[in-house]
Structure 1
């Protein structure tokens, strides 16, 4: 693009073109600086620099179009008109005007300076709309990643507390054995089980069965199940041309959420919150329910998936094309065009043997 600006300036080194070229080169310099930025810390955010560089390149492109002659834009009209139609809504007057100008140009009419300026104005508006849509995607991705980080810290905190204080809130159940069994009750935990006496569970019984790894095992099980759910949910998320990885942010949210839903779901079952599931019979059943509960995080994160789909759809929500046919209008309707000459009227031929006149002049006295 810098070469095109230099070529145009060499062709017409006027003061106006000098001003346009200076502004365009400033924008190109800012774009090069943004794209060439290198982070020194651990946190890298290349998406922001790509978005900033794209903004400066768009502005430089519009400046280059303004400094060139009007006819120079003619072969670029189809591609530029596509950009306008993809970003501006159908009701936008600038889009309608750009479509009218594009129809004129595609029909073979030359473009005027005023039409070129109006077309570039619509293109600048389309670029601004695309930049705002990209900013919304960036904000959403950052919120989801922040929430995923918070959930990860919570999951690690729960696992650490369960490791150091396993008997405070154990993930254990005390189901009843068959009537003919020598031991009427069994104490069942995620990693071990043992016979227990009738009555409430004592601290000594818990210390024999409960393991510091109980919370870790349940959380890992829920995390693995949530990973499968995240892989399945990605098929419904459309990709995006923005430099922000929204699907990855959603997957990062699902993993710690699955670990937490597995733990808290087991605790709800232990507290008789779910009727009929208050006493699991074996460690295998506890692990099995941890798998189910880890996958069930999709019930909560599904709302975030829907919002992500809405945000990604808004990037190209205005892409519906309203077809504008090439206008069949005379050249006098175009601004700056010479008025079309009026058609010449041929006089009516006189009848043979006489002259034209009204009926009263031909009648005799």
Structure 2
């Protein structure tokens, strides 16, 4: 039976590459030492976890469960957790850590605080200072703590992604409802602006029409697209299993459309009387674009928070190969 080919996605490429290195490291260990039964058990654990990883990255979910699987992200996080366990078991299967210590210390230092006792114990360990079983326990404990922090970050980024999706759905429904109301009953959501000194102007003509709300939303979304382009340009490349930039941009566009409607309502209500005067249809449409771009003020905090979450959830570097 032909081997299954994993679907090509960024996170699968990273996991597949590191899985290949795990298997190469296991092969480099050579034949098992009959006197080191614990090392043999760790080798078996590494092989079992590697098989789980292979299953996760080649698994084809039934269509009826594909959406639920994508929403929960269980196969992604199971693949990463099993990969981490396989890497830990591969390290522990060796008979010494002299060649690995620099890489192990650097790896642990990325996620654990300086005063973390597991990090301190690893950094103070000298090869041969303790019996091999104790050295193994020190290394395994420190690595597990470091990998656990990364795995929890993956779960946090998935939760954030799902919140962004839910928020996008709500904004889409609100915008659609406003557009339909404006289309069915023109003027119920008043988009026309006027004052005692200036004539009344409407987005789609001289009088209120069914296209007013839709036109304001489209121009507000256009203004938000401009800020989304800035987001895309400054976004750093990431191989995290969860990519947020598309959902962030979608929220900006939908929120820009909604804020444009709210802003035009505020202009029509006279909230800005004496400060802003809308003398023409072109000026009104321009304000819809500006108000749509103004969502950047509201979404900047979201962008900063997302950046922090994604920095914590970045894929972890490969442990050094044995020497």
Judge same fold: TM > 0.5, yes or no. Answer: yes
- The structure 1 residue matched to 2:245, chosen from 247, 267, 284, is 247
1:98 aligns with 2:122: yes
Structure 2 unaligned runs (5+)? 1-21, 315-323
Q: What is the CA deviation profile of residues 255-291 of structure 1, one whole-angstrom value per residue up to 9, with x for unaligned ones?
A: 1000000011001111112232676222111101101
TM-score by length of 1: 0.70
Aligned partner of 2:170 in structure 1 is: 150
Aligned partner of 1:320 in structure 2 is: none
- Asked if structure 2 preserves the Cα contact closer than 8 Å seen for 1:134 and 1:315, the reply is yes
**Aligned-residue offset at 1:247:** 2.2
DSSP 3-state at the match of 2:193: coil
**Aligned-residue offset at 1:2:** 4.1
CA RMSD, 1 decimal: 2.8
Aligned length: 287
- Asked if structure 2 preserves the Cα contact closer than 8 Å seen for 1:137 and 1:312, the reply is yes
Map of 1:68-79 to 2, 5 A cutoff?
A: 68-70=94-96, 73-79=97-103
Rounded Cα–Cα distance in structure 2 between residues aligned with 1:306 and 1:167: 39
Aligned partner of 1:33 in structure 2 is: 55
Structure 1 unaligned runs (5+)? 178-184, 194-208, 317-365
TM-score by length of 2: 0.78
- The structure 2 residue matched to 1:87, chosen from 111, 114, 120, is 111
- The structure 2 residue matched to 1:11, chosen from 29, 32, 57, is 32
Aligned partner of 2:254 in structure 1 is: 256
Rounded Cα–Cα distance in structure 2 between residues aligned with 1:120 and 1:22: 15
Structure with bigger helix share is 2
**Aligned-residue offset at 1:68:** 2.1
Rounded Cα–Cα distance in structure 2 between residues aligned with 1:239 and 1:143: 22
**Aligned-residue offset at 1:131:** 1.0
DSSP 3-state at the match of 1:35: helix
Rounded Cα–Cα distance in structure 1 between residues aligned with 2:306 and 2:154: 13
Rounded Cα–Cα distance in structure 2 between residues aligned with 1:87 and 1:142: 25
DSSP 3-state at the match of 1:59: helix
Aligned partner of 2:45 in structure 1 is: 23
Rounded Cα–Cα distance in structure 2 between residues aligned with 1:278 and 1:164: 30
- Quick check: which has more Rg, 1 or 2? 1
